[in-house]
């Protein structure tokens, strides 16, 4: 017999933090980056168990309050797998779970400095900056670069490495913005390398923000895209000034800056790939208080496809509250639009750019290497570098398929 089936058994509850989230609670503890959403009744059960009551006493209390006896066995086994409870009655202290703790990054950033960086005056000033850039684009839409801004016919490797360095720096700043905004809310985070499909990305682990009230989660989630938007706005205004002769940086510099601006625009467009968990996805899930928005949306779309084709058995989603189900239905349109946006980017940017480089590099490799040794070496080197990044991205993608990570949303 399982320990959780013994009526006289007791359970040791690991001390946890909680945040009321509508009708439910999000619980977790600072020693681990793992948070789960539980109904209020389940949290009350944990509180009763933490007060050293036996399983029988807990069931009796639930019967008196709710008129039914809960089945605690499966529930407690699930919580044990997540490290929230243990069989027995010994007291569990937080230091005992620190072997699973995460090493946080940039903890030296004072919280007051983080609050100053993301203060209302600073955010308001940056919003004005973005509005000025939008006015500039309305008056001169040609300021927006196309895919050719990323195409270089000479010094391909040098330009690629330069743009890669700038890209890494701006991606790092994007994640630092997330981290600093979270720090302003008193949450510690860490930065790591991950992947979205086969594309390498940097990301900030901000699972601690789920213990914040909902209205305080938006800034940490949106801080990265907002910094990208402000940075892109600065470049737009710089090009606007250059077109009017107010600034002259030289043709080479303008070429690099156009490529950087295009990179920023693609990064912001990436946030609209709603079929993956982007920053905008988490904003939507937070606003509508969805427990498992991505999986619920995929099931909903599969159900619609099954009904349309008249094949397969739709998955039951009646357990999802109607308000949340409405958010899922609406998000399914975003999910499909995100797929469309990804395909548009693929065929309007990635494919033309790829063919342009393949043609140019192929031409350089096809010629006698002695006729232009620099162009030949340049083509060979960029091919090796690009293949290395591609293989690394595919390796992480394949690993994520076989060893999927858990998500709180």
Predicted pLDDT at 181: 94
Predicted pLDDT at 113: 93
H or E element at residue 378: helix 373-402
pTM: predicted TM-score of the whole model, two decimal places: 0.78
> CB neighbours (10 Å) of residue 200?
17
User: Which parts of 130-267 are beta strand (E)?
Assistant: 190-196, 199-205
Spell out the domains of the chain, with CATH numbers in brackets. Answer: 3-89 (3.90.930.60), 111-274+367-402 (no CATH), 292-334 (no CATH)
pLDDT per position in the chain (409 positions), as tens? 567 777 888 888 888 878 777 777 888 765 555 677 788 888 888 888 888 888 888 888 888 888 888 888 888 888 888 788 888 755 555 444 444 445 666 677 888 999 999 999 999 999 999 999 999 999 999 999 999 998 888 887 888 889 888 988 998 899 899 999 999 998 877 776 665 554 556 667 777 788 888 899 999 999 999 999 999 999 999 999 999 999 999 999 999 999 999 999 999 999 999 999 899 999 999 999 888 899 999 999 999 999 888 887 888 888 888 999 999 999 999 999 999 999 999 899 988 888 887 777 777 767 656 666 767 777 777 777 766 666 666 676 677 666 655 444 5
Predicted pLDDT at 371: 62
> CB neighbours (10 Å) of residue 258?
19
Query: Tokens standing for 394?
Result: 């595919």
Question: Residue 319: CA atoms inside 13 Å, Cβ hemisphere, count?
Answer: 6
Closest CA to 191 of 311, 92, 109, 289: 109
Closest CA to 215 of 22, 81, 366: 22
């Amino acid at each position: 017999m399982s320990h959780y089936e013994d009526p006289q058994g007791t359970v040791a509850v690991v001390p946890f933090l909680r945040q009321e989230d509508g009708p439910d609670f999000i619980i977790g503890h600072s020693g681990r980056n793992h948070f789960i959403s539980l109904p209020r009744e389940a949290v009350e059960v944990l509180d009763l168990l933490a007060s050293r009551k036996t399983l029988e006493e807990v069931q009796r209390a639930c019967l008196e309050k709710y008129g039914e006896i809960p089945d605690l066995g499966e529930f407690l086994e699930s919580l044990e797998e997540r490290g929230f409870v243990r069989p027995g009655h010994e007291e569990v202290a937080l230091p005992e779970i620190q072997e699973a703790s995460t090493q946080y990054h940039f903890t030296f950033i004072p919280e007051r400095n983080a609050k100053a960086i993301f203060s209302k005056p600073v955010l308001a000033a940056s919003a004005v900056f973005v509005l000025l850039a939008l006015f500039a684009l309305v008056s001169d839409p040609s300021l927006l670069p196309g895919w050719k801004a990323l195409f270089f016919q000479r010094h391909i490797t040098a330009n690629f490495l330069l743009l890669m360095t700038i890209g890494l720096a701006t991606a790092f700043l994007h994640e630092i913005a997330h981290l600093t905004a979270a720090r302003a809310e008193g949450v510690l985070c860490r930065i790591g390398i991950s992947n979205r499909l086969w594309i390498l990305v940097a990301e900030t682990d901000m699972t601690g923000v789920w213990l914040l009230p909902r209205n305080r989660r938006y800034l940490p989630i949106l801080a990265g895209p907002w910094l990208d938007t402000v940075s892109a706005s600065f470049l737009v205004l710089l090009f606007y000034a250059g077109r009017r002769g107010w600034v002259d940086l030289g043709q080479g510099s303008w070429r690099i800056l156009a490529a950087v601006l295009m990179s920023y625009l693609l990064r912001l467009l990436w946030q609209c790939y709603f079929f993956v968990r982007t920053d905008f996805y988490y904003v939507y899930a937070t606003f509508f208080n969805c427990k498992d928005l991505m999986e619920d949306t995929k099931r909903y779309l599969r159900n619609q496809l099954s009904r349309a084709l008249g094949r397969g058995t739709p998955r039951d989603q009646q357990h999802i509250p109607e308000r949340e189900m409405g958010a899922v239905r609406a998000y399914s349109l975003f999910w499909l639009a995100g797929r469309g946006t990804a395909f548009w980017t693929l065929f309007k940017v990635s494919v033309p750019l790829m063919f342009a480089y393949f043609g140019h590099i192929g031409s350089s490799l096809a010629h006698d290497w002695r006729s232009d040794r620099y162009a030949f070496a340049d083509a060979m080197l960029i091919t090796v570098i690009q293949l290395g990044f591609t293989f690394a991205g595919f390796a992480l993608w394949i690993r994520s398929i076989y060893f999927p990570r858990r998500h709180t949303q």
